[in-house]
Amino acid sequence: MLQWVTDGGLETDLLFHHGVDLPEFAAFPLVEDADGAKLLERYYAGYAAIAAAAGAGLVLETPTWRANPDWAAKLGYDAPALDRANRAAVAFVRGIADAAQISGVIGPRGDGYIAAGTQADEAAEYHAAQIGSFAAAGVDVVHAMTLTGPAEAIGVVRAARDAGLPVGISFTVETDGRLPDGTALGQAIAMVDAAAAPDWYGVNCAHPTHVPPALDGGAWQDRIRVFRPNASTMTHEELDAMEVLDEGDRPLLQSSTAALLAALPSVTTLGGCCGTDASHVALLWGVHPAS
């Protein structure tokens, strides 16, 4: 049963609706920029209004999907600067709404649409620094999103456990319901649970019509607690090549999300991903928040 509202496609919203330049698709530098921080405040406030209208809790996810060493280095961040940025992101979202759950977002080491490596221990070592920053800043939970294979997920869970933090893992799937590395969603969840079980799973960056091919009625489906859909039915490859935003077929997004939630009653947190904004998330929640 739905309990928590979370946000939509932060980066695509900023890029296409607000004309913000996001080198390397990174939003985290905006936190330490006065104008950027004001824009982020307005962005998150829209989802706080949806939660209030829905009578639901609010999960605020930090804008740190790209705030890991490889991506941040391309933007000129060394380790101390990146630690500062991750801590600042946590403090920033905590200031948006007192009662919100603060989720520290981890993105994949590589591109979110390309299959990752196969070394869980390497992934744990790699993501430990960002998770350590989150722990020091006092996040409520770590959420790794758009992961493309089980090994990186296992590594993230191990690093979060070492830091004493709850952790959720959200995989992305292709149009056939499989992860970009070809692993079936149910199999990926089973593999991660066997090696280093997170507190819950989610699916993000996929249209609701892309998930049903993965569903087989197995008990693993009850582990899925978060859903953040894309607006578009396009493949990841097609979306990557787009120069204009595909905001999708809203009635289809609404109806297919409702059908998926009926098949996955364990989902408690609903937001959006690429191509969605607050209007999409309000539609999925069936509310009309005050402007």
Q: Is residue 251 part of a domain?
A: yes
Give the range of the structural domain holding residue 256, as residue numbers without chain letter.
Answer: 4-285
Would the pTM count as exceeding 0.75?
yes
- Residue 190 predicted with pLDDT over 90: yes
Amino acid 115: pLDDT: 73
Beta bridge partners of 57: 4
pLDDT for 219 equals: 97
From the CB of residue 251, how many other CB atoms can be counted at a distance below 10 Å? 9
Q: Which helix (H) or strand (E) holds 26?
A: none
Domain contains 290: no
- Confirm whether 74 is domain-assigned: yes
Rounded to whole angstroms, how far apart are CA atoms 35 and 22?
14
Mean pLDDT of the chain: 96
Domain membership flag for residue 86: yes
d(C-alpha 105, C-alpha 68), whole Å: 10
The pLDDT of residue 241: 76
218: domain CATH number is 3.20.20.330
27 belongs to a structural domain: yes
Examine residue 187 and state whether it is found in any structural domain, yes or no.
Answer: yes
Average pLDDT over residues 156-167: 98
Percentage above 90 pLDDT, the chain: 91
Over the stretch 22-36, which tens digit does the pLDDT of each residue have? 999 999 999 999 999
- What radius of gyration, in Å, describes the C-alpha atoms of the chain? 17
- What confidence category does residue 189 fall into, taking pLDDT thresholds of 50, 70 and 90? very high
Give me the pLDDT at residue 291, please.
60
Residues 44-61: what's their mean pLDDT?
A: 98
Instruction: Give residues with Cβ within 8 angstroms of 173, minimum separation 6.
Output: 179, 185, 203, 206, 210, 211, 214
- What pLDDT does 33 receive? 97
With a cut of 80, say whether residue 117 has pLDDT above it: no
Q: What is d(CA 15, CA 25) in angstroms, rounded to the nearest whole number?
A: 9
Do the domain assignments include residue 69? yes
Total count of domains within the chain: 1
Q: Is the Cβ–Cβ distance between 201 and 226 less than 8 Å?
A: yes
Q: What is the share, in percent, of the chain residues with pLDDT greater than 70?
A: 100
**Would you say residue 282 has pLDDT above 80?**
yes
Compare 117 and 267 and report the one with higher pLDDT: 267
